[in-house]
Amino acid sequence: MNRKLTSSPSQGSLGAGAAATAEPSIQPSTPAVRRRPKGISLLARGTAPVWLTGGAMSVCLMMIGGLLAFIFFQGVLTFWPVPIVKITTVGGATFLGEVTRDDTYRPEPTVLEKLPEAVQAEVRRMLAESEGVSHRRLLRTGNYELTNEHFTWVSDFEIASGGETLPPWALVFERQAWGRFYGEPKAFWIDSVPVATAPEEIWSYFERYHPESRHRWSQAKNLEKHAIGEINYRLEQSRLKLREVELRFGKDSDRWREQQRIHAAAETELQKEFESIQQTIQKLRQENSRFKIQVVTADGREKSLAIDEIVRGYPANRIGTLEKWRIYLSRWWEFLYDDPREANSEGGVFPAIFGTVVMTLLMSLAVVPFGVLAALYLREYAKSGPLVSSVRIAINNLAGVPSIVFGVFGLGFFSYIIGARIDDLFFPAKLPSPTFGTGGILWASLTLALLTLPVVIVATEEALAAVPSSMREGSYACGASKWQTIRRIVLPRAMPGVMTGMILAMARGAGEVAPLMLVGAVKLAPELPIDSIFPYVHLERSFMHLGFHIYDLGFQSQNSEAAKPMVLTTTLLLIVIIFFLNALGVYLRSRLRRKFASSVF
């Protein structure tokens, strides 16, 4: 029998009433206000330290970014050609040159006293209105052999009315010696005969004959550098051979007399070759001496310039944008691939680029193996004790030693002790002229390797400690020895950390200058340590370095204003080279990390 279960009315009404009573009405909720507990400061909650540390990091990043931006823009704009202005002052002086920079200053009373009395009152009134501040521009006037100065400051109040113009035929000549020359063309001479006097014709003749003259100049330079250099090298080798026979057998021996005869024959033959090359060089120079351009300076003086000594010339106020880009790129090409000239303030820095890169790579090849071996012994083999603790303290202290101390040590130990012993054993015929007993790229690399050794040791130790102990235990459980475990398990997985140490060492070593001044870096060394002469790699030679080049330009140049653009450009180049060397290290480190991804088992 089916029963239908229903609830009684009283129960239904009671349940509904209870539900109605128990269920509250829905009201819009208000957000709860979080109140700071009384007695807890903002410093304890950590908000202030976060803002403080974040703000400090932002300030550091802005400082670094601002410095790099300043170096970048100043370095990039160094080679851009600018117009030439001609300025006539109220005193009657005339200047012709490029505006390099400007600023404001407060003129001294002595400056105003040099002005004509007729304009002094007007100038004083103008200065009084501007609260004693005036604007001035730095004009690169060149023509050093005539004026004994490269730059001249010209204030606005010194310029006569209508005394500033842009001469249409103002020319810029960048020369092999004496720096830049500014003037206007007067005549073009061939065989001491003026063939053109109009500016258009003069410039047409210059553009016609200048490339040929520069080609002949390059031929003569190559003959002097390579052909005559090879003759001198062969003559020196013959002399050294005679000296070796003399040291072994004496001057009274038959061997010495035979070698002397060979040396005399070689000297006669080489002298003939030298005279033949000299005749060729003389013919090239005589051909170039036929062509000259006569220029008039701003103060009316005339100067004849041999066009083969002119590296680059152009009418600055008549060229368009495409021609400016051509000059700009040609200057960069010269800067990167040519030798320096004019006391390093002009020309290129290729020897310095080559020396910097080679020295940094040699330093890395020397410091990484020794640093890794030292770190392996300290971490994997050495037992904790006073001796190991002393070694670690010494390594940490070594990182704080001034770099010039390393330079003194490298000069005394590598050059004067090891180098002198090498000369005694292998190069006795060259003595007393040292071969390895003086500064060279090898000793500079080893000195910087000692300087950066603590960085590699500390980074390698941290990388070895980061390898999980479970990997070592698993290797031992499989029957591997300690050295097999280190070589196949520990060291491969620590290689990213080793590469980090190498990157830090390269970054520091490439920028060091003080030690290099004592162990091999010189102001000018156009001969590269690698050439076609056996043994092809000459690690005993002195070299140029970009860091030392920057120091020499900034503090040893005859004119700091003339060298300032090259200082910034060379600094930019050094930063770029260090960046690419570090980028190469980071790339290798990332590949090693992907290959040896560490895992705990």
Domain ranges, ordered by start, for the chain: 84-166, 184-319, 350-595
Q: How far apart (Å, rounded) are the C-alpha atoms in residues 527 and 433?
A: 18
What is the predicted pLDDT for the residue at 43?
A: 58
For the record, the structure tokens of 533 come out as: 């002469």
For the record, the structure tokens of 476 come out as: 């031992």
Residue 127 pLDDT greater than 90, yes or no: no
What is the predicted pLDDT for the residue at 318?
A: 94
For the record, the structure tokens of 295 come out as: 């220029």
* Global pTM value: 0.85
Section 32-39 average pLDDT: 56
Q: How many CB atoms lie within 10 A of CB 473?
A: 12
Residue 18 pLDDT greater than 90, yes or no: no
Torsion of CA 515, 516, 519, 522, to 10 degrees: -150
Section 500-528 average pLDDT: 89
For the record, the structure tokens of 335 come out as: 């800067």
pLDDT band at 172 (very low <50, low <70, confident <90, very high): very high
Residue 44 pLDDT greater than 70, yes or no: no
pLDDT band at 23 (very low <50, low <70, confident <90, very high): very low
What is the predicted pLDDT for the residue at 316?
A: 94
Do strands 171-175 and 159-165 pair parallel, antiparallel, or not at all (unpaired)?
A: unpaired
Residue 39 pLDDT greater than 70, yes or no: no
Q: How far apart (Å, rounded) are the C-alpha atoms in residues 141 and 148?
A: 10
What is the predicted pLDDT for the residue at 29?
A: 52
Average pLDDT, the chain: 87
CATH number for the region 350-595 comes to: 1.10.3720.10
Q: How far apart (Å, rounded) are the C-alpha atoms in residues 318 and 323?
A: 10
Expressed in angstroms, the distance from the first to the final Cα of the chain is 71
What is the predicted pLDDT for the residue at 559?
A: 74
Section 569-594 average pLDDT: 88
Task: Give the dihedral sign, CA 541/542/544/545.
Answer: positive
CATH number for the region 84-166 comes to: 2.30.30
Q: How far apart (Å, rounded) are the C-alpha atoms in residues 60 and 55?
A: 9
Section 315-320 average pLDDT: 94
DSSP state of 410: I
Torsion of CA 527, 533, 539, 542, to 10 degrees: -20
Do strands 291-296 and 302-306 pair parallel, antiparallel, or not at all (unpaired)?
A: antiparallel
What is the predicted pLDDT for the residue at 383?
A: 87
Q: How many CB atoms lie within 10 A of CB 183?
A: 26
* Residue pair 315/173 in contact by the 8 Å Cβ criterion: no
Q: How far apart (Å, rounded) are the C-alpha atoms in residues 34 and 41?
A: 15
pLDDT band at 118 (very low <50, low <70, confident <90, very high): confident
| Cis preceding linkage at 496, omega within 30 | no
| 467-501 pLDDT tens trace | 888 888 899 999 999 999 999 889 888 988 899 89
Residue 5 pLDDT greater than 60, yes or no: no
Strand, coil or helix: 468 = coil
Residue 281 pLDDT greater than 90, yes or no: yes
What is the predicted pLDDT for the residue at 7?
A: 42
Section 225-242 average pLDDT: 92
| 403-423 pLDDT tens trace | 999 999 999 999 999 999 999
* Residue pair 377/460 in contact by the 8 Å Cβ criterion: no
pLDDT band at 1 (very low <50, low <70, confident <90, very high): very low
